[in-house]
C-alpha cells in the first residue's frame, strides 16, 4: 500500500468537517452545494502560507479589515491603480475574521458601497433634459449641431452606465485579478448565502445577485480546464476528493483506488486561479448495462472490462464550493465528459445516471400525514371503521385497494395502525427500518412506493420546476427519466431519504438540447413509457 496514499486518506477522514451553512444540498444547480469544507480550514489552505508570510494574525481586528477595504475602494474611486498591500491585507484579513465579524463586514459592504442613487437620479434628470436632434427623428443626416447634441447624450449615457454600478463592482474586479482573490470571493459568497438564509435583507440580495453574475462570467466553461483525476495525482488533490465527496462517501483507501481505477473515471473542473482544487467533480462507472443498485456500482469486483462496456454511468457529482451555489457548472461538466468519452470510447453508447431522490421521503411522509388527518376529520362521527381497506374516506386515494390489503396483512408484528395508510406511515417513519427485513412487507410496499415516487418525480412541482432538486438538475440539463429502481440504495441515508429508491436519468445525445429547452420553457418532462404509465393510470 502506498504510504503517501494512506496518509492522505487518514488526513481527510479522521478529522470531522466543520458544520455546513444551512440549506445545503447535493447537486450544484439546485441547492447550495453539500460539499464538505476541508477539515480545520477556517481559511483557504492555498492562501495560508501567504497569510503567515505577511504576519497577519488569524484573529485580526474587524476594524483593520474594514480600513483595508475602504482604502482600496477610495483608491479605485479616484481611478488610481490600487496599492496591492491593501488588497493583500484585506484578502488575508477577511479569512482570519470570526464568522460574526464576517457578517458585519458583509453588511457594511452591501449597505455602504451600494449604488450611489443620488448621482444616478441627477444623471437621469440631466438625461431627460436633453432634447434629441430633430434631424435624426426625421431620418435626415446629422450636421455639426446635431453631432454636438449626440455627444452630450453619449457622455451622459456613459456616466449613467458607470453610476448604476455599485461601488463594490470595481473592488470585486480588482480582487478577481489578484492572486487568491477569486477563491476569496467564492468564500465571501458562501458567507453571504449563510446570512441570507437567516436574514432576508434587500441590500444583501442585491449584493448576492451582483456577485453571482460576476462569478458566472469569471467561471465560464472557457476558463475551466477538464482534468482526469487519477491515483497518480497529488496527495493534496486526492485528499480533497475524499473530503468533498458527499453523495457516496469514500469508505477507505481501497474504495478510493477502485473509484479511480479500471472501469472507472473521475473528472473535475479546475480553474487556474484556484490551484489544485476541483470546483466540481463527477464519478463515472463503465458498465455493460445501466446499473439498478448503487451497491453494484461501488463494490463491482472485478470491474467490467472497459472494452466490453457500453454504458457510462454517472453515479456521483459533487460541487466543492458552497459559494458557487446556483451556478450550474454541472451542466457543462456532464456535456464535456459525454463528449470526451464518446470520442475516446466510441463503443460507449448509453450515458445514464444512478441518482438519489433526496426529497421523496419528506414529501411522502408529509402527504401521508395530511391524508390521515383529513381522514380522521371525515370519520370522527362514524360508529364503525367500515371503510378501512378501500381508502374511499380520503380526499386522495393514496393506496389502491389491493395495496391497502397487502400492507395490512403483512404488517402483523411490525407496525400498528387503523389503516394501510397509517401502517405505511408508521413503518416508513421508524428509525430502525425493520420493514426492510421482512420479505412480505418489502413485497407489499414496493408497488405503492414506486408508483408514488413516479408521481413525485413527474408531477410534483414548485415554481414550475421539479420538486426534487436532483430531478430538476438533470431535467434542466437535458436528461429524461428512464427507470425507478427498487432497493437500490440500502444504506441508512438511502432508506431515510427515499426508502431505498434510486432513479436512472438518461442523456440521449441527439435530444439533450431539445429536452432541456422543453423542460425549462414549458415544464415538460420526458420519461420512459413504463414510468409515464404510473401517472397516466391515476
Burial of residue 195 (CB within 10 Å: 0-12, 13-18, 19+) is buried
State the DSSP H helix or E strand holding residue 437, giving kind and residue range, or none if neither. Answer: none
Beta bridge partners of 270: 225
| DSSP-derived pairing of the beta strands 480-485 and 280-287 | unpaired
Q: What are phi and psi of 319, to 5 degrees?
A: -90, 130
d(CA 372, CA 58) in angstroms, rounded, equals 55
Select which of 355, 410, 419, 498 is catalytic: 355
d(CA 534, CA 517) in angstroms, rounded, equals 24
Select which of 410, 474, 498, 526 is catalytic: 474
Beta bridge partners of 355: 503
Please calculate the CA angle 314-318-320 and round it to the nearest 5 degrees.
155
Distances (CA, A) of 120 to 140, 214, 318: 32, 22, 42
Radius of gyration for the alpha carbons in the chain, expressed in angstroms and rounded:
28
Torsion angle, alpha carbons of 327, 333, 335, 338, to 10? -160
Helix (H, G, I), strand (E, B) or coil at 282: strand
Distances (CA, A) of 529 to 43, 121, 191, 293: 50, 58, 44, 21
Q: Fill in the DSSP letter of residue 165.
A: S
129 given a catalytic annotation: no
Q: What are phi and psi of 179, to 5 degrees?
A: -55, 125
Distances (CA, A) of 349 to 287, 288, 300, 307, 355: 11, 10, 20, 13, 19
Q: Is the dihedral of CA 13, 14, 15, 19 positive or negative?
A: positive
Q: What are phi and psi of 345, to 5 degrees?
A: -135, 75
Q: What are phi and psi of 166, to 5 degrees?
A: -65, 155
Q: Fill in the DSSP letter of residue 292.
A: S
Concatenate the DSSP letters of all residues of 310-347 into one string. -EEEEEEEEE--GGGTT--HHHHHHHHHHHHHHHH-TT
Residue 314 near residue 340 (C-beta atoms within 8 A): no
Question: How many residues can be counted in the chain?
Answer: 538
474 given a catalytic annotation: yes
Residues 6+ apart with CB under 8 A from 434: 414, 427
List active site positions.
355, 474
Amino acid at each position: 500500500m502506498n504510504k503517501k496514499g494512506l496518509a492522505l486518506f487518514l488526513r481527510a477522514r479522521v478529522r470531522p468537517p466543520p458544520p455546513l451553512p444551512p440549506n445545503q444540498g447535493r447537486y450544484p444547480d439546485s441547492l447550495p452545494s453539500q460539499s464538505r469544507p476541508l477539515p480545520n480550514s477556517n481559511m483557504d489552505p492555498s492562501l495560508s502560507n501567504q497569510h503567515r508570510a505577511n504576519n497577519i494574525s488569524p484573529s485580526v481586528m474587524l476594524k483593520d479589515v474594514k480600513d483595508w477595504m475602504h482604502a482600496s475602494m477610495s483608491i479605485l474611486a479616484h481611478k488610481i491603480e490600487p496599492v496591492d498591500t491593501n488588497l493583500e491585507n484585506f484578502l488575508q484579513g477577511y479569512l482570519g475574521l470570526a464568522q460574526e465579524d464576517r457578517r458585519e463586514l458583509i453588511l457594511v459592504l452591501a449597505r455602504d458601497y451600494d449604488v450611489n442613487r443620488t448621482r444616478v437620479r441627477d444623471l437621469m434628470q440631466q438625461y431627460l433634459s436633453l432634447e434629441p436632434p430633430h434631424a435624426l427623428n426625421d431620418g435626415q443626416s446629422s450636421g455639426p449641431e446635431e453631432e454636438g447634441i449626440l455627444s452630450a447624450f453619449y457622455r451622459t449615457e456613459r456616466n449613467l452606465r458607470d453610476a448604476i454600478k455599485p461601488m463594490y463592482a470595481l473592488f470585486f474586479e480588482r480582487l478577481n485579478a489578484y492572486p487568491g482573490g477569486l477563491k476569496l470571493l467564492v468564500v465571501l459568497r458562501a458567507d453571504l448565502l449563510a446570512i441570507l438564509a437567516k436574514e432576508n435583507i434587500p441590500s444583501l440580495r442585491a449584493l448576492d445577485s451582483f456577485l453571482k453574475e460576476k462569478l458566472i462570467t469569471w467561471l465560464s466553461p472557457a476558463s475551466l480546464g477538464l482534468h482526469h483525476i487519477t491515483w497518480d495525482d497529488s496527495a493534496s488533490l486526492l485528499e480533497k476528493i475524499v473530503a468533498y465527496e458527499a453523495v457516496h462517501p469514500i469508505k477507505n483507501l481501497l474504495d478510493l483506488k477502485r473509484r479511480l481505477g479500471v472501469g472507472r473515471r473521475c473528472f473535475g473542473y479546475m480553474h487556474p486561479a484556484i490551484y489544485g482544487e476541483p470546483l466540481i467533480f463527477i464519478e463515472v462507472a463503465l458498465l455493460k448495462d445501466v446499473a439498478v443498485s448503487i451497491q453494484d456500482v461501488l463494490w463491482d469486483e472485478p470491474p467490467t472490462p472497459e472494452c466490453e462496456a457500453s454504458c457510462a454511468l454517472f453515479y456521483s457529482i459533487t460541487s466543492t464550493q458552497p459559494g458557487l451555489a446556483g451556478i450550474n457548472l454541472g451542466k457543462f461538466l456532464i456535456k464535456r465528459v459525454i463528449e470526451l468519452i464518446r470520442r475516446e470510447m466510441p463503443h460507449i453508447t448509453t450515458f445514464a445516471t444512478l441518482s438519489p431522490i433526496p426529497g421523496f421521503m419528506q414529501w411522502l411522509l408529509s402527504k401521508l400525514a395530511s391524508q390521515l388527518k383529513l381522514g380522521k376529520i371525515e370519520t370522527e362521527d362514524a360508529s364503525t371503521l367500515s371503510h378501512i381497506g378501500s381508502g374511499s374516506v380520503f380526499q386522495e386515494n393514496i393506496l389502491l385497494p389491493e395495496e391497502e390489503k397487502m400492507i395490512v396483512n403483512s404488517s402483523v408484528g411490525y407496525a400498528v395502525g387503523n389503516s394501510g395508510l397509517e401502517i405505511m406511515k408508521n413503518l416508513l417513519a421508524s428509525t430502525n427500518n425493520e420493514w426492510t427485513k421482512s420479505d412480505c412487507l418489502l413485497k407489499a410496499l414496493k408497488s405503492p412506493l414506486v408508483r408514488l415516487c413516479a408521481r413525485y418525480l413527474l408531477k410534483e412541482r414548485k415554481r414550475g420546476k421539479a420538486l426534487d432538486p436532483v430531478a430538476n438538475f438533470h431535467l434542466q440539463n437535458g436528461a429524461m427519466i428512464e427507470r425507478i429502481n427498487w432497493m437500490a440504495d440500502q444504506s441508512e441515508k438511502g432508506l431515510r431519504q427515499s426508502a431505498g429508491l434510486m432513479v436512472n436519468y438518461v442523456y440521449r445525445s441527439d435530444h439533450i438540447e431539445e429536452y432541456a429547452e422543453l423542460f425549462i420553457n414549458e415544464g415538460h418532462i420526458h420519461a420512459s413509457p413504463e414510468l409515464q404509465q404510473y401517472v397516466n393510470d391515476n
